[in-house]
Structure 1
Amino acid sequence: MNYLSVENISKSYGERVLFKDISFGINKDQKIAFIAKNGSGKTTIMNIINGFDEPDTGQVVIRKGIRMAFLSQDFNLQNELTIEESIFASDNEILKVIEQYEKALENPEDEERYQKAFDDMDRHNAWDFETQYKQILFKLKLEDLKLKVKNLSGGQKKRLSLAIILINKPDFLILDEPTNHLDLEMIEWLEDYFAKENITLFMVTHDRFFLERVCNEIIELDNGKVYQYKGNYSYYLEKKEERQISENATIDKAQNLFIKELAWMRRQPKARTTKSKSRQDDFYKIKEVAESRRKENVVELEINMERMGSKIIEMVKLNKKFPDRTILNDFSYAFQRGERIGIIGKNGTGKSTFLNILTKTMEPDSGKVIIGDTIKIGYYTQSGINPKPGQKVIDIIKEYGEYIPLTKGKIISASQLLERFLFDAKKQYDFVEKLSGGELKRLYLCTVLIQNPNFLILDEPTNDLDIVTLNVLESFLLDYPGCLLVVSHDRYFMDKIVDHLFVFRGEGEIEDFPGNYSDFRTYEDSAEPKVLNSVSTEKNTWKEKTVKAGLSFNEQKEFNKIEKDIKDLEYQKKQIEQEFADGKVADDKIEAKANELQKVIQTLEEKEERWFELSSKIE
């Protein structure tokens, strides 16, 4: 069954042709990845498919009656809603039933309303659905449902948008970089989810492990043409190489024939017979093929690394704590020449804080960082470039000099360097704010590398880079002779370039693991027993357990409401404790706030005691 057809679409901006006469289709149950270089029109095609932009020619035909959803890099959320309210704001009928049931739990004395909500949950089979959506929220670390959207980080907003889409289970899902802002545990869960769910996917992603494990088809936009590959990422790489070899062989053959036909054309008199006119027409077709050899413009990375002495960087008994968590606990480490270390861990375990302390942009609570005299750090952060208003691309590079030294005594101009990073002469005079996300990352990488660092720190370097640029970056880093420290959720990238890992376990525990990411996963899977998730995935839901347990009707209501009350009280307790920790409580209100906290704690203990009393009746 065809869900969507892209029919001969074209798009130009002035003289610049992004693509012309592009066509492809998406059918039910296909899981398709869309691959193209940065700047070739990926985002534009996504916007055209979703109705946010119009093609110059052609059309997009969508099957009537299918439910589509789009996860973009921009978040269509209402700032004043909480996480819970944002989830219930959709048109999903079952979510409306669950919302009414949640409200009925808040007023258990209204037995008629509660019974109706309870019956509706049964009628719509909403108990299992509720378990599933709570598991999604748990996996995406969105457990504090009272948080307002306006107070969420960019990563939390991305995860909330993803959660809302997954909970509503559309027929057809379009994803733009779905793994950005997810930690490795979340990415692996999402991989498993998509692999098992009967859902049609069309996605843009640079995560090659994700492509390998989720997608069953690749669509590539290459030099203005569309190529389709019925297989995963490994199959795509194999078949693309075969296609390029075949294309080059055809071009070589055409070039040999072109030379012969060109000599014939030059010998012919002006008057043409019908036969020679036909041969002349063929000549121009041969010429077109002969001159079609691919212009493979790829990023050229080359630096003149500063000489490195025997003393690199030493971290001595470092400690760093925040009110809610410990980042470093008496941590010591002496870096060695040529080390290549990857940093992994869940979001919030302190990876970026660790890098900031290492580079002395943040002070530890105690301990010290000793940097060798010859060490020159290059730090690629997630914050990227902060251009001045009206600044052009070439102005960014000229801040480091009109000419840049390279290896073996070579010197290159700022303009020539930008050309190596795929910024042509026209693009160099564009305003920085006009660049795409991938182009900004590429420019930022250029500014880091031209400073010739011998200790390179990369914090999520693969976000927004296309796969071609990623391959070039990986090749450069494999030959890089200095020290390398990388934080990345890109497992494919990590596997290729790091020798060992710092695994951030949380609460100041950092483990030095001797191997790459795949080695680590193999070790973890074999060393740890499988445990049930915190959110139950058993076929029997909590609702079925309570109903079968022999609790009375009123006890069932009370038991269901207590679970919600306990969660709310725990949230209140955490908020008040945080106010004390942050010093936000005025002196004249300390006693009243302390009494409020004590009351919350006492109520919480009473609720928990009652919960245990009722749960003991459950068989």
Structure 2
Amino acid sequence: MNYLSVENISKAYGERVLFENVSFGINKDQKIAFVAKNGSGKTSILNIITGKDSPDSGQVVTRKDINVAFLSQEPDLQNELTIEESIFASDNEILKVIERYEKAVLNPEDEKTFQSAFDQMDLYNAWDFETQYKQILSKLKLDDLKLKVKNLSGGQKKRLTLAIILISRPDLLILDEPTNHLDLEMIEWLENYFAKENITLFMVTHDRYFLERVCNEIIELDNGIIYQYKGNYSYYLDKKEERIAAEQASVDKAKNLFTKELEWMRRQPKARTTKSKSRQDDFYIIKEKASQRRIEHQVELEINMERMGSKIVELHNLHKKFNDKVILNGFTYNFGRGERIGIIGKNGTGKSTFLNILTQTMQPDAGKVVVGETIKIGYYTQAGINPKPNQKVIDIIKEFGEYIPLSKGRLLSAGQLLERFLFDRKKQHDYVEKLSGGELKRLYLCTVLIQNPNFLILDEPTNDLDIVTLNVLESFLLDYPGCLLVVSHDRYFMDKIVDHLFVFRGEGEVEDFPGNYSDFRIYEDSAEPVKDEVAKEKVNKKEKSVKAGLTFNEQKEFSKIEREIKDLEAKKTLIEQEFADGKVADDAIEKKSIELQKVIENLEEKEERWFELSAKMEA
């Protein structure tokens, strides 16, 4: 059943043509991702589909009897309403059914109206509406129903808007970057919800795991042409690569034929026969085919990183709290050369506060941050660029100089640098306020990297970036020789570039986990209730937290051993999982087995020492 048809739509702003004659359809039960580069018109297409904008030509035809909902990037809520009031103020068909029933109850003599209202209550399962919306609000961690919208964080507003939409049970749900501003727990809940629910989806998202696990079809707008792929993200990548290779082979074949035909054309006399006229017409078709080329502009990232000394950044016994909310409780860490750390944790556990303390834009309540003399920190924040009125794109870059130093003593003009970040000469003289969300992020990234930092901090760098730019950024960061600290809800991004994680558990607890995000999920999901007596003994002793009988150094050792045991157990679980999943290559089995044996021996040694110190505590 067709829900919506996009028929030959076009859109241009002045001389800038976004797209022409774009057509596709959305059918019942499809879960479609719409993929395109930044600036190619993704948001414009969403706005046209949802009726917020109109095409220059073509039309969008929507089936009349379906309920369509749109989750935009900017929640549209009333500040003075509470969470619960926002539910009842929404345009929800179930609420209309309940309202009609309540009116019918007041006039029971009108049996026909009453029966119709009663049947509608059954049809929409409206009898337990209160239970339904409270369950969804609870799942989305919106438990205080009396909290006003104006007091909600950006993430909470996004979740409330999402709750309102899910409660309305739309036939077709259109989503613009649904995972932005959600923490990892919420993203995974939403991912599981969409994967199992019979709901038709059309979404724009840069979250590649979301694409992989939720979508069963991908529509790509590439160089003005629509391509459709019946599969998830992995399938799309494979088939796109095959398509590009086939297109290139076709162009190469046409070029070879064009060379031969060109020689023939040059030999032809001016007087033409009917046969030669036909061949000449074919020649121009071949020429057009041979002249085709892919427009594959890519961001080029390059920096001239400052040399790093022996001292990087040291964090000494940091404490921070807001009223009774503890963010850091004696956190200590010394960064080493080339460390690549991801930061994860629920919203509100203090990730951004930690970064502000690290960059010394906020002071801790106690403890200190020591930054090495050679360290130059580059900090990409969620706030982004704050341009002056009527400031142009090139003016932003010229604030850092007319010429930018690169490696090996080379120089790059401000204009040339912007071209590397996909801002052509015309775009460089646009006003900054005209840029799309993704273009603003790209410009901001440019301003951070041209300062040549050797300690790079990225706070949600993937929001609003298209998948092509994300891949380029990832490649750059994989080769980046400095220290890297990343806060991101993009699990695919984190998996690719970080070696270990700071896990913000809340209440001031920060855990150093050895592995990337998928490693962490495997470890968390495999953690079962403690069964063996040794583990029970450890838990009981930890809960007692009585360290009488130990010297100060032994108390420090005891705490350290507990962390080391946890890390080793996680490492052991991961290696065993790799063997169980058959992910270990034949030529790596021996090496991996030796690694596992060393981990087990080290774990046994630590546990033995743990028991020794435990015995001293009880003595």
Normalising by the residue count of structure 1, what TM-score does the alignment of the two structures yield? Answer: 0.80
Q: How does 1:184-583 map to 2 (within 5 A)?
A: 184-528=184-528
What is residue 168 of structure 1 aligned with on the other side?
A: 168
Name the structure 2 match of 1:589. Answer: none
CA contact (8 A) 1:29 1:199 kept: yes
Counterpart for residue 27 of structure 1: 27
- Where do 5+ consecutive residues of structure 2 fail to align? 103-117, 531-619
- What is the CA-CA distance between 1:21 and the residue it aligns to? 1.2
SS at structure 2 position matched to 1:281? helix
Is the CA contact 1:349–1:504 (under 8 Å) kept in the aligned structure 2?
Answer: yes
Once the two structures are TM-superposed, the CA of residue 10 in structure 1 deviates from its matched residue by: 1.3
Offset, 1:267: 2.8
Q: After superposition, what is the alpha-carbon deviation per residue over 1:423-458, rounded to whole angstroms, capped at 9, x for unaligned? A: 000000000000000000000000000000000000
Q: Is the 8 A contact 1:88 1:99 kept in 2?
A: no
Give the Å deviation of 1:127: 5.9
CA deviation profile, 1:285-322 (whole Å, cap 9, x unmatched): 11221111212100000001100001000000000000
* Partners of 1:123 and 1:31 in 2: CA distance: 25
- Superposed, which structure 2 residues align to 1:106-121 within 5 Å? none
How well do the aligned residues superpose, as a CA RMSD in angstroms? 2.2
After superposition, the Cα gap between the structure-2 partners of 1:419 and 1:81, relative to the gap in structure 1 and judged at 3 Å, is: same
* Partner SS for 2:248: helix
- What one-letter code is carried by the residue in structure 2 that aligns with 1:479? D
Residue type of the alignment partner of 2:400: Y
**Aligned-residue identity in percent:** 84
Unaligned 5+ segments in structure 1 are 103-117, 531-619
Q: Secondary structure at the match of 1:85?
A: helix
Matched AA of 1:350: G
- The answer (yes or no) to whether the contact 2:376–2:454 under 8 Å persists in 1 is yes
2:99 and 2:146 mapped to 1: Cα distance? 14
The higher relative CO (CA closer than 8 Å, separation ≥ 6) is in 1
Q: 1:100 and 1:57 mapped to 2: Cα distance?
A: 41
Which amino acid in the other structure matches residue 363 of structure 1? Q
Q: Is the 8 A contact 2:379 2:456 kept in 1?
A: yes
Structure 1 stretch 200-209 or stretch 129-138: which is displaced more?
Answer: 129-138
Q: Is the 8 A contact 2:341 2:500 kept in 1?
A: yes
Query: C-alpha distance in 2, partners of 1:273/1:93?
Result: 72
Q: Which amino acid aligns with 1:372?
A: G
Separation in 1, partners of 2:126, 2:53: 38
Following superposition, the deviation at residue 158 of structure 1 comes to 1.6
User: Matches of 2:198 and 2:119 in 1, distance apart?
Assistant: 29
2:518 alignment partner AA = S
Deviations 1:221-266 (A, max 9, x none): 0000000000000000000000011011001111111112222223
Structure 1 contact 261–283 (Cα < 8 Å) conserved: yes
Give CA-to-partner distance per residue, 1:199-240, whole Å, 9 cap, x none: 000000000000000000000000000000000000000000
CA distance in 1, matches of 2:189, 2:399: 44
User: 1:273 Cα shift?
Assistant: 2.6
CA distance in 2, matches of 1:129, 1:48: 32
For 2:314 and 2:366, locate their aligned partners in 1 and report how far apart those are by CA, in whole Å.
14
Aligned residue in 1 for 2:14: 14
Does the 8 Å CA contact 1:339/1:482 hold for their aligned counterparts? yes
SS state of the match for residue 195, structure 1? helix
Is the alpha carbon distance of 1:361 and 1:258 closer, same or farther for their aligned partners in structure 2, counting shifts above 3 Å? same
Residue number in structure 1 paired with 2:610: none
Provide TM-score, normalisation by structure 2.
Answer: 0.80
Distance 1:470 1:124 in 2: 42
CA distance in 1 between counterparts of 2:128 and 2:217 reads 32
Q: Does residue 147 in structure 1 map to residue 147 in structure 2?
A: yes
Question: Is the 2:328–2:508 contact (alpha carbons within 8 Å) kept by the matching residues of 1?
Answer: yes
Residue by residue over 1:471-528, the C-alpha shift from the partner in whole angstroms, topping out at 9 and shown as x without a partner, is 0000000000000000000000000000000000001000000000000000000114
Task: Supply the distance in 2 between the matched residues of 1:468 and 1:427 (Cα, whole angstroms).
Answer: 19
Partner of 1:48: 48
SS of the residue corresponding to residue 422 of structure 1 reads: coil
CA distance in 2, matches of 1:251, 1:270: 29
CA distance in 2, matches of 1:271, 1:11: 46
Q: How many positions carry a matched residue from both structures?
A: 516
* Corresponding residue SS for 1:29: coil
Cα drift, residue 9 of structure 1: 1.2
Query: For each residue in 1:522-573, what CA deviation from the matched residue of structure 2 results, as whole angstroms up to 9, or x when unmatched?
Result: 000011459xxxxxxxxxxxxxxxxxxxxxxxxxxxxxxxxxxxxxxxxxxx
Question: SS of 1:326's equivalent?
Answer: strand
**What is the letter of the counterpart of residue 309 of structure 1?**
G
Partner deviation per Cα, 1:48-86 (whole Å, 9 max, x = no partner): 111111212211111111000011122222222211111
Is the 2:94–2:168 Cα contact (8 Å) retained in structure 1? Answer: no
In 2, the alpha carbon distance for the partners of 1:429 and 1:122 equals 60
